[in-house]
Structure 1
Amino acid sequence: MTSADAAVLDDPVGASLRGPHTGLARRHGRAAACLPDVASFTAVSRAPEAADWDDLARLLGPGALADLFSGAGTPPPDWAPVFLLEGRQMIRPGTGLAGAAPTGVVELGAADVPEMLALAARTRPGPFWPRTRELGTYLGVRVHGRLVAMAGERLRPPGWAEISAVCTAPEARGQGHAARLVNALTARVLSRGERPFLHVAETNTAAIALYERLGFETRRPVTFRGFRIP
């Protein structure tokens, strides 16, 4: 992997919406956003001008949240800040798995969405909407038929797949479910000839430690930002 191969990760939302996820995107001019109920992420050009912000405002509408993810550029001064979160982007070099082949995971489908939404609401792994699972493969762990852990694929910039929504119910933690799910997704991504990457909040030290044990390395710090359109 060269630095050029990873450069697409500097704009993962835009690259995903222009590439593999173009069918899950809406657009106006040079602005793009995920479809409602899929994700809240938006994208403008890498060096946005006033016209780009106007395009995004027209696309989303007055009063809407512009979730800029880790995109560059500063929106107009009358766009009110909603959130700012420091994090890091991690990638996984190599082609092997850290540890034994994962077992005990199941693929989740449309019928599982109510349970997936309920688990996400309990554990708050990040934004998760009714159609988020359409972004890629989602896997879960069931105990006595109940969904207690899940993880899936989210952004898909060409050549890469983001592992996201890694979460475990409080009563099921400490049993290795998250590690098995991340390894299972990693194996699927690598089998397609793609590379796995992920994002994590800087304050989530336990998750960072887990990902490092599974072979992920920090590529760069990121700042997640959201603004309210006037």
Structure 2
Amino acid sequence: MSTASIEATAAHILDNPAWAALTGPHAHFAERVGRAARYPADVAPFHAVADLDDPRAWADLATLVGPGGTASVRGVTEPPPGWEVVRTGHGVQLVDTALHAEPAPEAVRLGPADVPEILDLIARTEPGPYLPRTVDMGTYLGIRHHGRLVALAGERLHPPGWTEISAVCTDPAYRGRGLATRLVRAVAAGIRERGEHPFLHAAAGNTNAIRLYESIGFTLRRRTVFALVRRIGAAVLEETA
């Protein structure tokens, strides 16, 4: 079996954050088969295995997705036999090292009733995947102008001791006012109140966002690749002694 990962050699819980979340604070979301797990299709598009180099984990993932099924897995560049790469995307992971976190008095807590507006803003700004029940993953805050939702940020992956800030976006007509930065600081304040650490991901090519995050106190931790892989045959399970 040939599996390649661009992950750093030193193990860290953020090296495999979806697995750490799905087997930790987000275990109540997990659809799991042995060493593979995923979020429900209406919550998040992420799959994870305990170890990319473990053929048993890939066999479990094959069972989880079924024949012809697809999985979005972090860190894969060359999947094992029985799988093909549909597409890949390169990203960066940043962690809070000097962020000034503080509440935003103008921010409002968003919930299921706000999902239609959230999805509309997401569709117009494209900050990343957001599904009808993503709002259930953690705290989401928004800023409204004359009742209209114009900016958003919230919590997504939740490995033990860490929480990812995600869905950071602002209506194009309201950019340049610092709304996203205020929401990131506010979401981070809530994370820190729980004794946890904020982190986030961004597309590697989104240099403007990366520079912004670095300017407010995030530090680049690592680069990674996200792959959508498809099961094309029986997964190979190597016998172990």
Q: How far apart are the structure 2 equivalents of 1:28 and 1:48?
A: 17
Q: How does 1:17-166 map to 2 (within 5 A)?
A: 17-68=22-73, 70-71=74-75, 74-94=78-98, 97=100, 102-166=104-168
Partner residue, 1:227: 229
Amino acid at match of 2:67: P
Structure possessing the higher radius of gyration over alpha carbons: 2
Q: How does the TM-score come out when normalised to structure 2?
A: 0.86
Equivalent pairs: percent with the same residue? 53
> What secondary structure sits across from 1:19 in the alignment?
coil
Q: How far apart are the structure 2 equivalents of 1:144 and 1:188?
A: 26
- 2:187 maps to 1:185: yes
| Residues matched between the structures, number | 222
1:46–1:72 contact (8 Å) kept in structure 2: no
Partner residue, 2:7: none
1:73 CA drift (Å): 7.4
- 2:221 maps to 1:206: no
1:46–1:73 contact (8 Å) kept in structure 2: no
Q: CA RMSD in A?
A: 1.8
Q: How far apart are the structure 2 equivalents of 1:107 and 1:27?
A: 30
Task: Specify every segment of 5 or more residues in structure 2 that has no aligned partner in the other structure, as ranges.
Answer: 1-10, 233-241
Q: Give 1 or 2: higher helix fraction.
A: 1
Task: Specify every segment of 5 or more residues in structure 1 that has no aligned partner in the other structure, as ranges.
Answer: 1-5
Partner residue, 2:14: 9
Moved over 4 A (4+): none
Q: How does the TM-score come out when normalised to structure 1?
A: 0.90
Partner residue, 1:173: 175
2:96–2:217 contact (8 Å) kept in structure 1: yes
